[in-house]
Amino acid sequence: MIVVSGTASRILARELANELNVKLIEAEHKYWPDGEQIVRIPEDVKGETAILVQTTYPDEKIIELLLLQDALKDAGVAKLITVVPYFGYARQDKRFNPGEPISAKTMAKHIELQSDMVITVDIHNPNELAYFTKPVYSVSAMEEIGNYLKNLDHRKPDLIIAPDAGAIERAKKVAQIVGVEYDHLEKKRISGDTVEIKLKNLNVKGKKIAIVDDVISTGGTILKASKQLKEQGALDIIAACVHGVFTNMADVKMRVCCDLVIASDTIETERTRISAAPAVARFIRSQAF
């Protein structure tokens, strides 16, 4: 077994190879003068079970993934397991307007084409796994987030909260690891342009809070929630997610109200503090290859 990394997931691939105690091969990548990509597997991989690790964000990383899959198949790997840490287009899981594709379905169809198995991490909507026809699994890195928060010493949170009811199971899992209570936020419209965000059941006064979600993109909800939670007496607020998309410098903007912003290496950013590799490795070790 070998791990092969694309350029989008160098850190996670390295950590995964270490977790599995197998060889890591970093694929070579460059651009032609016209901007088209070229990839190369620099070592003999014939007969190997190859674990290809490549996040499909931004768009050019999708093309790189497809090229790497073909390169590995052409090189004679016996089995190709494609690990897509962050599944791009996962939030476009329905047809919002007539004439549009279901983009998550489109990505699934192409990603699985050369794969014997696909593994992703905390996919936004588990129902999207039904778009695949080959074996596909979504593993969770919430255990890794929980362990990180649990070991923050003086910054260890007193309460884990989800940004909405849909994310309550993630908050529950993290809270169980940290050993604290959990709750979720509710929005209450006060007027036409005023929305109050508060916890469903618990009081935040005097508490250190961690808001936990699968993905942070614009950060708008967490920014607004953090501001209001501080006004309600919260002492310290951590925003923690698996996938740190952070569009338009959202992570920087969130530091106005969040005392700490952390994410995993499914998307490699300056906020990466956690590796999803142990979660992926646990699943791979459970399979008979």
Give the model confidence (pLDDT) of 137-189 as tens digits. 999 999 999 999 999 988 999 999 998 888 899 999 999 999 999 999 886 65
Q: Are residues 87 and 152 in the same domain?
A: no
Beta bridge partners of 198: 186
pLDDT of residue 192: 52
Q: Are residues 6 and 129 in the same domain?
A: yes
Question: Strands across the sheet with 49-53, in order?
Answer: 23-26, 2-5, 49-53, 79-84, 117-121, 136-139
Q: Are residues 34 and 117 in the same domain?
A: yes
DSSP 23-40: EEEEPEEEE-TTS-EEEE
Determine, yes or no, domain membership for 271. Answer: no
C-alpha span between 289 and 285 (Å, rounded): 9
The answer to whether residue 191 scores a pLDDT higher than 70 is: no
Q: Are residues 280 and 249 in the same domain?
A: no
230 is catalytic: no
Q: Which domain holds residue 178?
A: 142-265
Determine, yes or no, domain membership for 107. Answer: yes
Question: What are the Cα distances from residue 153, in Å, to 25, 114, 149, 160, 208?
Answer: 37, 45, 9, 16, 12
Q: C-alpha 137: how far from its chain's center?
A: 14
The answer to whether residue 195 scores a pLDDT higher than 90 is: no
pLDDT of residue 193: 53
The residue among 203 and 27 whose pLDDT is bigger is 27
Q: How confident is the model at residue 134 (pLDDT cuts 50, 70, 90)?
A: very high
What CATH number has the domain bearing residue 56?
3.40.50.2020
Q: Are residues 136 and 148 in the same domain?
A: no
Q: Tell me which of 23, 94, 187, 205 is the catalytic residue.
A: 187
The mean pLDDT value of the chain amounts to 94
Q: Are residues 130 and 58 in the same domain?
A: yes
Are 267 and 241 spatial neighbours (Cβ–Cβ below 8 Å)?
no
The answer to whether residue 202 scores a pLDDT higher than 90 is: no
Q: Are residues 146 and 260 in the same domain?
A: yes
For 253-286, the pLDDT digits (tens) are 999 899 999 999 999 999 999 999 999 999 999 9
Block residue for tokens 């999803």? 276
pLDDT above 70 as % of the chain: 94
pLDDT of residue 224: 85
For 26-61, the pLDDT digits (tens) are 999 999 999 999 999 999 999 999 999 999 999 999
pLDDT of residue 190: 58
For 61-99, the pLDDT digits (tens) are 999 999 999 999 999 999 999 999 999 999 899 999 999
- Quote the number of domains for the chain: 2
C-alpha span between 170 and 216 (Å, rounded): 14
pLDDT of residue 189: 54
